Amino acid sequence: MASFSLSNTFRVEDILQALSPIKPMSTPDTFALAAIAIGYATYLLKGIAWDKPDAHYYKFFERPHLSKSSANNEKRETRNIAQKLKENGKKLIIFWGSQSGTAEGFANRLGRECHLRFGLEVLVADLSDYDAETIAAITEEELAIFIISTYGEGDPSDNTTGLWNWLQKSKDISLLNLRYVALGLGNSNYKYYNRVIDMIAESLDNSGAKVLMPVGKADDAQGTTEEDFISWKEDLFAMFRHRLGFQEQETRYTPTFSVIKDDSLVPIDLHYGEPSRTRDKVKTVASCSPIRALAVKNSKELLGSSERNCLHLDLDITDNSDLHYKTGDHLGVWPINPNEEIERLLEALGCSKERDEPITIRSLDPDIKVKIPTPTTTIALLRHYLEICAPVSRESILNLRQFAPSPEAKIYLTTLGEDKLAYTDFVSRNYLTIGRILSLASPKAPWTDLPLSYLIETLPNLQPRYYSISSSSVVSPRRPSITVLVSKTPLPNDATQNVLGLTTNYLLALSNSLNNTNRQAQELTYSLTGPSDVLQGGKIFANIRKSKFKLPTLSSCPLIMVSAGTGLAPFLAFLSERKKLVDIGRPVGEMLLFFGCRNLDDDFIYRAELEQFERDFGEKLKIVTAFSREGREKVYVQHKVSEYGEKLLRLLEKGANFYICGRAGMAKEVERTVGEVMKANEGWDDIQLGEWSRSMKGTRKWQEDVWG
């Protein structure tokens, strides 16, 4: 049959001509061929000559109440912060740079309080929403506040990168009109404590900006981040009054959001608890996979102790073609709040009967976005979207007084909140959540004047907790696994009460459910089937986050790995991957693994697996253990690193990669110990050691995956 090309118009004659090589044998054959040609042409002309789609057909399915907002969304937001301030009549801009959400929460709290106490028009801004260079156009009439966290090895948060790069790389920046105040959030267990705020403040000063008070610093290592923020804020407000002449006024709660009960909403309109990333930026989206309901295929207990739990969980991503992981990546688990805390809070608020009523959350300020999926229900809000188990700060206790249902409740909160020593002593003996403090302050009368909008504004949003993946993507590409130490911390002055880790105890409950066991009396219960039963059958909401904690490209490169506790997880993946390489005949470099835990019998996780690796690798792998509670003296991994200094040096001379995974305090001690070994054996001074350290980290020969 002759071939022909299709264009936007077709003629029956064209098709007949194409069919011309087929010679009809009779009149019926002619009619049959003509019918075929007409039918074929009719089919090809569908949507062109007939049955054209209506360009406005979609409007029949549009929700009328969304059309206006859709039109508004078409108006592109400016990325010029100076223009934004001018357009909205704002005089105070609070920039936040946050990785975990703490700095963002502080910025929002500070913005509300500046408005309520001083009548200031405030814009709270994500640094990544604006072009950094436009900060130079902020006028002297305006004031900038920077609340910025440091994480990892002195790294800026994802949304601070733009400002960081502009200040570090640009030359001849003029910020003569900029007046600013700054607070840094960090952890002194890390070597580069609050490095980001220090570098930013130095760059601002060098560019001519005027700092109005000393840069504040909060230290999470001491557990004083909240109190450090409060103390800094008090100094800030004193500066407002005495230096800037701002007049303080009586504060009264003014909601930022409205929460409207709407019985007209049907179930299909509601969000019942599915996780959402409403503020994710391009960089975050690029580093994180979509959130999916993943099946936990296997769960086993790793510890021999009856008082502690450490879980190994195997997950299945087979049914999610858009999910992939690489060895060394992290898996984020989205937690669910425990039923006991939810019921306690519902009862304290006096809204237990309205838990399932549909509610819509709307922002009353065009510059503030609703970051909770809406419409939803009260029970979904408390179970899936708000951190109702977060500790209650002294400042929050004082702010609750305005909603007190009785004079007695107000006196209770005042007494507890105004005395710092009394508060510190109280929380050492009582685990305070929002539901617990409301119940303690008013055990009989409900807090009917406390609006849900206040909880939405003051409680953090539930965020995922990330765990190092302990499997190799080469060996188990569709079955990532994680290692989870279940957190159960006794209170300092009352060992009968425990602070239970939110996500780890949720996973413990799920593990017990899957295995139909209750090895340890479970203190909390959870709605394990999830919203609309989407987690039924042992599933969790999870996503995969890319990591830079990676094996070297060359399999022959030696490895030095230092870990404690569940920090062993990524090194199991490293060893599994190298074992696979050995199996297919690839050469692998020499490996030295340090692992620390409490004792040999009850706390040595993956002992059988590590012993098997030693047998499989032979002389290529040496595992060194450190037990902190075996003998009279505590032995930690840094002690073993010092003891094996000669072997460590030999591997470094061969070009070994150095890895540390575990708590930041441990990593800091290990780095200090390695520094002492290098100085003693190489005869270096501090300057030479610093140059070597920067070179190792700059070339990714030294990598850390640490927390807390």
Confidence of residue 74 (pLDDT cuts 50, 70, 90): very low
Q: What is the pLDDT of residue 192?
A: 84
The CA distance from 333 to 508, in Å, is: 13
Q: What is the pLDDT of residue 222?
A: 85
Q: What is the pLDDT of residue 278?
A: 52
Residue 501 backbone zone (phi > 0: left; psi -120 to 50: alpha; other: beta): beta
Mean pLDDT of 56-64: 39
First CA to last CA across the chain, in angstroms? 73
Q: What is the pLDDT of residue 139?
A: 94
Cis check: omega of the bond before 366, within 30 degrees of 0: no
**Residue 523 pLDDT > 80:** no
**Residue 308 pLDDT > 70:** yes
The DSSP call for residue 537 is: T
The CA distance from 434 to 439, in Å, is: 9
Q: Tens digits of per-residue pLDDT, 576-604?
A: 999 999 999 999 999 999 999 999 888 99
Is residue 115 within 8 Å of residue 123, measured between CB atoms?
no
Confidence of residue 59 (pLDDT cuts 50, 70, 90): very low
Tell me which residue of 98, 145, 95, 89 sits closest to 120, measured CA to CA: 89
Q: What percent of the chain has pLDDT over 90?
A: 74
Q: What is the pLDDT of residue 35?
A: 63
CA-to-CA separations, 591 to 549, 655, 704, in angstroms, rounded:
16, 12, 17
Residues 6+ apart with CB under 8 A from 690: none
Tell me which residue of 665, 672, 533, 583 sits closest to 187, measured CA to CA: 665
Tell me which fold the domain 81-242 belongs to: Rossmann fold (3.40.50)
Q: What percent of the chain has pLDDT over 70?
A: 87
Q: What is the pLDDT of residue 70?
A: 38
The CA distance from 565 to 309, in Å, is: 12
* pLDDT greater at residue 377 or residue 191: 377
The CA distance from 698 to 153, in Å, is: 11
Q: What is the pLDDT of residue 631?
A: 81
From 1-10, 121-130, 303-312, 414-423, the region with the lowest mean pLDDT = 1-10
From 15-19, 110-114, 203-207, 320-324, the region with the lowest mean pLDDT = 15-19
CATH number of 559-707: 3.40.50.80
CA-to-CA separations, 555 to 50, 580, 581, 587, 705, in angstroms, rounded:
63, 11, 8, 7, 21
Strands 358-363 and 376-377: antiparallel
Residues 6+ apart with CB under 8 A from 79: 129, 130, 131, 134
Q: Tens digits of per-residue pLDDT, 524-564?
A: 999 999 999 999 999 999 999 999 999 999 999 999 999 99
Q: Tens digits of per-residue pLDDT, 311-323?
A: 999 999 999 999 9
Rounded to the nearest 10 degrees, the angle between the axes of helix 339-349 and helix 434-441 is 40
The DSSP call for residue 46 is: B
Q: What is the pLDDT of residue 601?
A: 86
Mean pLDDT of 29-51: 58
Q: What is the pLDDT of residue 17?
A: 53
Q: Give the number of other CB atoms < 10 A from CB of residue 444.
A: 9
Q: Identify any residues that bridge with 257 across adjacent strands, giving them in sequence order.
A: 363
Confidence of residue 605 (pLDDT cuts 50, 70, 90): very high
CA-to-CA separations, 322 to 30, 285, 291, 481, in angstroms, rounded:
53, 13, 10, 18
Q: Tens digits of per-residue pLDDT, 241-296?
A: 999 999 998 888 889 999 999 888 988 999 999 997 654 454 555 789 999 999 99
Q: What is the pLDDT of residue 10?
A: 45
Q: Tens digits of per-residue pLDDT, 379-395?
A: 999 999 999 999 999 99
Tell me which residue of 609, 616, 337 sits closest to 471, measured CA to CA: 609
Q: What is the pLDDT of residue 162?
A: 92
Q: Give the number of other CB atoms < 10 A from CB of residue 27.
A: 8
Taking the model in full, what pTM does it have?
0.83
The CA distance from 631 to 83, in Å, is: 66
* pLDDT greater at residue 495 or residue 114: 114
Q: Which amino acid is at 575?
A: L
Q: What rounded mean pLDDT belongs to the chain?
A: 88
Q: Tens digits of per-residue pLDDT, 176-208?
A: 999 999 999 998 888 788 999 999 999 999 999
The CA distance from 578 to 617, in Å, is: 9
Is residue 362 within 8 Å of residue 403, measured between CB atoms?
no
Residues 6+ apart with CB under 8 A from 323: 289, 290, 292, 294, 317, 544
Tell me which residue of 347, 526, 352, 502 sits closest to 436, measured CA to CA: 347
Q: Comparing 81-242 with 559-707, is the CATH topology the same?
A: yes
Q: What is the pLDDT of residue 25?
A: 56
Query: What b/e sequence results for 639-650 when a residue is b if at least 16 CB atoms lie within 10 Å of its CB, and e otherwise?
Result: bbbeebbeebbe
Q: H helices of 400-451, where? A: 407-418, 420-427, 434-441
For residue 368 the two structure tokens come to 């503030």
Q: Please, what's the largest Cα pairwise distance for the chain?
A: 108
Domain definitions of the chain by residue range: 1-52, 81-242, 257-288+335-458, 559-707
Q: Is 655 helix (H, G, I), strand (E, B) or coil?
A: coil
**Residue 119 pLDDT > 50:** yes
Mean pLDDT of 22-40: 59
**Residue 68 pLDDT > 50:** no
> Under CATH, domain 257-288+335-458 is a member of which superfamily?
NADPH-cytochrome p450 Reductase; Chain A, domain 3 (1.20.990.10)
Q: What is the pLDDT of residue 44?
A: 54
Q: What is the pLDDT of residue 299?
A: 96
**Residue 643 pLDDT > 70:** yes
Q: What is the pLDDT of residue 570?
A: 98
Q: How many CA atoms lie within 13 A of 462 on its CB side?
A: 26
Residue 684 backbone zone (phi > 0: left; psi -120 to 50: alpha; other: beta): beta
* Residues, the chain: 708
Q: What is the pLDDT of residue 132?
A: 93
